[in-house]
Structure 1
């Protein structure tokens, strides 16, 4: 499975020329509980860098649903991780994905989506779906590349996160990732946000 080829085919849904590294995956999935039986949703898993880290943290517990819009990535991911419920769907359809499984909310949503490639309305629609899927104790994590953090789409994302969550904590920079990136930990969703 060529990540670069998928980027060339559809750069607005793949968003990067290489998958995220192990160091970024560890930081982005740190909110996944190591106890209990949580429902964890992964948005935009791509080739599975975060998927592996989530599976290690869950250690056979809970439910891990991976929502991937790219059917080639979804098929590849499902073959690599048979214990993960891989769904070919758009992140905005998160409520329907959960409802088909008899679930109304997820404890944690981990995103590998290419936010900087999204138009304003697309960012808004995906964030609405995420907030609607989280209970008051829910956590949402996503990341941003350091080099694009000051570009308008990335600034818009951070502003939107702060409007939709009571707490947004920014991790230290993961210099080992190519390119360097940081993670946003978003807690206590605000359902009345625009």
Structure 2
């Protein structure tokens, strides 16, 4: 997707897209660094957008793994459905419904949840449900990995997860914090 089309989607989104440009490959590398791809059987991606993380996940995932990619923006969803990979399931629905989609895809737990959701732009009660449901579906050694442009989500994440590591990259527009959360 072109930058021009991306920016057009940002303005049409009514606040559901929290970025001014697609995520950088530098941010993607830092987001995916905590993942043990050799043992990951089920990865969930929230806010797949233009597929920057999606493509990198598919490059690194083992051949038996599954990737459930949630995207509520219709244009982004349609672009993601063009990716031809049997391991990818693209979902045009809210991340709140993760349990339902794991169930219908015959997955008991997610090994990793990668999130690009703009928490600052989503109502608190929806964020709370997404975070609670994500915690519930994570495997015991699973991780929830989230990026944000501020530290505002830190207290929510710390209230749910035992361990929250923070990383940062300047090489993104805007620069971003990466939260690596463990049960």
Aligned counterparts of 1:100 and 1:113: Cα–Cα separation in 2: 23
Q: Which secondary structure does the structure 2 equivalent of 1:178 belong to?
A: coil
Q: Is 2:99 aligned against 1:99?
A: no
Please, what TM-score do these two structures have when normalized by structure 2? Answer: 0.91
Structure 2 residue corresponding to 1:159, chosen from 152, 155, 158 = 155
Structure 2 vs 1, CA of residues 115 and 31 (structure 1 numbering), >3 Å: closer, same or farther?
A: same
Please state which structure has a larger fraction of its residues in helix.
Answer: 1
Aligned counterparts of 2:129 and 2:144: Cα–Cα separation in 1: 15
Count of aligned residue pairs for this structure pair: 179
Alignment of 1:23-38 (within 5 A): 23-38=26-41
Q: Is 2:81 aligned against 1:85?
A: no
Partner residue of 2:176? 181
Partner residue of 2:146? 142
Tell me, yes or no, if the aligned pair for 1:28 and 1:183 is still in contact at 8 Å: yes
Alignment of 1:41-80 (within 5 A): 41-80=44-83
Tell me, yes or no, if the aligned pair for 2:69 and 2:91 is still in contact at 8 Å: yes
Partner residue of 1:192? none
Tell me, yes or no, if the aligned pair for 1:32 and 1:57 is still in contact at 8 Å: no
Structure 2 vs 1, CA of residues 37 and 165 (structure 1 numbering), >3 Å: closer, same or farther?
A: closer
Q: What are structure 1's unaligned runs of at least 5 residues? A: 189-194
Tell me, yes or no, if the aligned pair for 1:69 and 1:88 is still in contact at 8 Å: yes
Aligned counterparts of 1:61 and 1:163: Cα–Cα separation in 2: 34
Deviations 1:1-36 (A, max 9, x none): 421111111142211121100000011112222313
1:61, CA displacement in angstroms?
Answer: 4.1
Partner residue of 1:3? 6
Aligned counterparts of 1:30 and 1:12: Cα–Cα separation in 2: 29
Aligned counterparts of 2:123 and 2:36: Cα–Cα separation in 1: 32
Provide the aligned C-alpha RMSD in A: 1.5
Partner residue of 1:191? none
Please, what TM-score do these two structures have when normalized by structure 1? Answer: 0.86
1:81, CA displacement in angstroms?
Answer: 4.4
Tell me, yes or no, if the aligned pair for 2:40 and 2:112 is still in contact at 8 Å: no
Q: Which secondary structure does the structure 2 equivalent of 1:95 belong to?
A: helix
Tell me, yes or no, if the aligned pair for 2:47 and 2:69 is still in contact at 8 Å: yes
Q: Which 4+ residue blocks in structure 1 deviate beyond 6 angstroms?
A: none
Q: Which secondary structure does the structure 2 equivalent of 1:102 belong to?
A: coil
